[in-house]
Amino acid sequence: MAPRTARVERITKETQITVELAVDGSGTRHLDTPLPFLSHMLDALARHGLFDLAVTARGDLEIDGHHTVEDLGLVLGQAFRDALGDKAGIARYGWATLPMDETMVTVAVDFSGRPAFVWNVAGLEGKWIGGFDCELAKEFFSAFATRAEANVHVLLHYGGNPHHVIEVTFKAFAKALDQATRVDPRTLGAVPSTKGTLTT
């Protein structure tokens, strides 16, 4: 099987972002973003999904973190889309329900070729973790779903600590991505769709 890797760069007047991804990795991480909590979440994503991930990001934080977080979601989504190619042989679906102390979250992913995003998470409005606006977590996952052309559904079952809610969401997302991107040898390399394609 050819290496499932991608390198994506996005340069605009608002952000400059480069992502290098190896889907079949070991969790190696090289992260350089201007938002420490965002770097912490990407660290969790790579570590728990066992993806090799290198990220360099700069953005107009003098305005706020919105452009940086959203654009990083776009670039990472594009990296997964590129690395998976025609998606032949992948499991396609992935889901995980994880606890973190008082919090429990489910994330489900479908690399269907159709972007859809559902965010059933309450309680982050107006909350901050260090210099990170908690409402930007939603923007990250929405952007990922759009550019990866995937369904991403996030459900907060219960929990109140914003740090726990966002962190366990990233960890559940990592586990769901790992499951969905795995190659299932039983498919004999077929695309997992009755249409025969997941790219159009």
Note whether residue 198 is domain-resident: no
Note whether residue 35 is domain-resident: yes
CATH of the domain at 60: 3.30.230.40
pLDDT tens per residue, range 111-153: 999 999 999 999 999 999 999 999 999 999 999 999 999 999 9
Report the number of distinct structural domains present in the chain.
1
**Has residue 184 got a pLDDT over 90?**
no
Integer CA distances (angstroms), 59 to 9, 55, 56, 128, 144, in order? 13, 13, 10, 19, 18
Task: List, in order, residues 6 or more apart from 43 with CB less than 8 Å away.
Answer: 29, 31
The arithmetic mean of pLDDT across residues 52-69, rounded, is 95
Query: pLDDT exceeding 70 applies to what percent of the chain?
Result: 94
One-character DSSP codes across 102-170: TEEEEEEEE--SS-EEEEE--S-TT-EETTEETTHHHHHHHHHHHHHT-EEEEEEEE---HHHHHHHHH
> What domain range includes position 91?
5-187
Look at residue 195 in the predicted model and tell me its pLDDT.
Answer: 63
Task: List, in order, residues 6 or more apart from 180 with CB less than 8 Å away.
Answer: 90, 91, 92, 93, 94, 109, 110, 111
**Residue 154 structure tokens:** 């996030």
Integer CA distances (angstroms), 53 to 22, 46, 47, 94, 147, in order? 7, 6, 9, 20, 17
Note whether residue 178 is domain-resident: yes
Beta bridge partners of 139: none
**Residue 115 structure tokens:** 């972007």
Counting every residue written for the chain, the total comes to 200
What does the alpha-carbon distance between residue 25 and residue 3 come to, in Å, rounded to a whole number? 10
Note whether residue 196 is domain-resident: no
**Has residue 26 got a pLDDT over 90?**
yes
